[in-house]
Structure 1
Amino acid sequence: MTPVLSLLDLAVVGREQTVQEGLAGTVALAQAAERCGYERVWYAEHHNNPSIASSATSVLIAHVAAHTESIRLGAGGVMLPNHAPLIIAEQYGTLASLHPGRIDLGLGRAPGTDPTTMRALRRDARSAESFPDDVAELGAYLRGESLLPGVNAYPGKGTDVPLYILGSSLFGAKLAAAMGLPYAFASHFAPAALEDAVAAYRSEFRPSEQLAEPYVIAGVGAIATDTGEEAAAQLLTAQRRRVQLLLPPGRTLTDEEADAVLASPHGRQMMDMMRYTAVGTAGEVGTYLTAFAEHARADELIIALHADQVDQRVRAAEIIAEAMAG
């Protein structure tokens, strides 16, 4: 069975690009995904990273939704401990009211940033402990069944924005199963627990009002090009970018320094984060993604395109759609 295809977009701001140019690329990619028949595009909440412009997910989704017509858009995800559930219900309820039937809300419990920035967000280090209760409170607001008498989300009440639990461990898998929600595993950057987490989710799933059967979305990286030479060049650029992303804020490396890190034992461990990445031309990428979907027991693949330039990401989205349709 061919899996459903979706995209994860970090609203990448490439080298020597402005934020405006990066966000224009995000719109162009969503429009390409819509043309190619992808199910959804999700945007991930990150903070204090100059190469990622998806920090304000609801604002970005509103902008992209206004420049597309039918594709589903959502957070992949909102880091809920950074926010009050009522505020998120209001934001996503507003989006759902403006764009009915098109809005998703994926929820994670990580900070989406470094410890210093976490403090700047006014986030308590223990706030993740209330994640299950916060998810329940948020879902109740959106269903119009507030857990706090007299408090409702306006807009939001009764919009039934679908919730998804994001995770990279058994915690999220078990929570999604217990709450009867779809589960999205971040195997595109945290591959280690994929099989165990999916097995736990599927075996422990309890049906809910939102979902009758378990539904797994698996993250996977992809570099899809017209030639093998292009694929190899884009892979090296993506590996160097991964090194840069893991540096402290404000620190940069030259390409030569990044290559030295990649060649080290620590660098090889870092590259294991990209273990699940399809690389190559249409046939190679299509074969890989089909096999990965079976390996992950995934109903849907959410694909992170590892290309630095928007035209490269748009072309990759086209190649992947054509390969998986065939």
Structure 2
Amino acid sequence: LGRAPGTDQRTMQALRRQRSGEVDDFPADVRELIRYFGDQPGAVQAVPGQGLEVPVWLLGSSLYSAQLAAAMGLPFGFASHFAPGLLLQALELYRAQFQPSARWPKPYAVVCINVVAADTEREARFLFTTLQQQFLRLYRGDAGKLPLPVQELGEEWSPRELMAMEQTLARSLVGDRDRVRHGLQALLAETGADELMFNGPIVSHEARLRSFEIAAELMQSL
């Protein structure tokens, strides 16, 4: 669960997801949802759902969800695939402030990163241009389908846009098997993550499957 609507403002308005007040009621929403999956019936009974004890995780890209997950004794995932700057600080806060719960006696952290792996370094870099273009377009408010990869980024992007994109994607692992293996080893050592989640926006379905295949094989070997 995350606080953000997961889309742009116009789409959010079309979904009628405006908030009626300024008070942040996300913690209450999380508790309410957990109750629906519990054994204690409330005013509203979830059918199906009640008694299933569906595990609830918090996803964040800032320090807020890290602290809330710690206070509620929930597992926590950090979205460093687009917000790498606060990754280490968020994990430190989460682990330091964690309050054990019945299901989670100790903290459990997942780190999400972009992985674009291929059989050659050149191919991986080519495929990665899709993600680079996607974020460059987002900065201009131009959301849409994944762009096709290109041999090199065009001159239409300003130095400021390119720098912002590079900062956003700083934690991405891109390359052949050896380079991605080294990156995974370094990331696990640096973060102590209990799990890694891979995001792989690649246009070609075959290339996307190959990227995940390489990453899965590397994780098993680690």
After TM superposition, the score normalised by the length of structure 2 is: 0.89
Q: Does 1:324 align with 2:219?
A: yes
CA displacement 1:73-117 (0-9 Å, x = unmatched): xxxxxxxxxxxxxxxxxxxxxxxxxxxxxxxxxx00001112222
Q: In structure 2, do the counterparts of structure 1 residues 167 and 290 end up closer, same or farther at CA, with 3 Å as the change threshold?
A: same
Q: Does 1:189 align with 2:52?
A: no
- Of all paired residues, the percent bearing the same amino acid is 39
Question: Which one of the candidate residues 132, 136, 140 is aligned to 2:35?
Answer: 140
**Does the 8 Å contact 1:223/1:234 carry over to 2?**
yes
**Does the 8 Å contact 1:144/1:152 carry over to 2?**
no
Q: In structure 2, do the counterparts of structure 1 residues 233 and 250 end up closer, same or farther at CA, with 3 Å as the change threshold?
A: closer
Q: In structure 2, do the counterparts of structure 1 residues 127 and 318 end up closer, same or farther at CA, with 3 Å as the change threshold?
A: farther
Between the two proteins, the alignment pairs up a number of residues equal to 218
Deviation, 1:258, is: 6.0
CA displacement 1:137-174 (0-9 Å, x = unmatched): 0001101224xx43210110000010000001111000
Gaps of 5+ in 1: 1-106
Alignment of 1:284-295 (within 5 A): 284-295=179-190
Aligned to 2:13: 119
Alpha-carbon separation, structure 2, partners of 1:266 and 1:118: 25
Aligned to 1:210: 103
Whichever structure has more strand as a proportion of its residues is 1
Aligned to 1:283: 178
After TM superposition, the score normalised by the length of structure 1 is: 0.62
Gaps of 5+ in 2: none
Aligned to 2:198: 303
The root-mean-square deviation of aligned C-alpha atoms, in Å, is 2.4
Give the ranges of 4+ consecutive aligned residues of structure 1 lying more than 4 Å apart after TM superposition. Answer: 249-258
Residue aligned with 1:108, SS:
coil
Q: In structure 2, do the counterparts of structure 1 residues 300 and 128 end up closer, same or farther at CA, with 3 Å as the change threshold?
A: farther
Aligned to 2:168: 273
**Does the 8 Å contact 1:262/1:271 carry over to 2?**
no
Alpha-carbon separation, structure 1, partners of 2:170 and 2:157: 14
Alignment of 1:26-45 (within 5 A): none
Q: In structure 2, do the counterparts of structure 1 residues 160 and 261 end up closer, same or farther at CA, with 3 Å as the change threshold?
A: farther
**Does the 8 Å contact 1:177/1:206 carry over to 2?**
yes
Question: Which one of the candidate residues 176, 180, 187 is aligned to 2:69?
Answer: 176
Residue aligned with 1:113, SS:
coil
Alpha-carbon separation, structure 2, partners of 1:256 and 1:239: 12
Alpha-carbon separation, structure 2, partners of 1:251 and 1:323: 32
Deviation, 1:242, is: 2.3
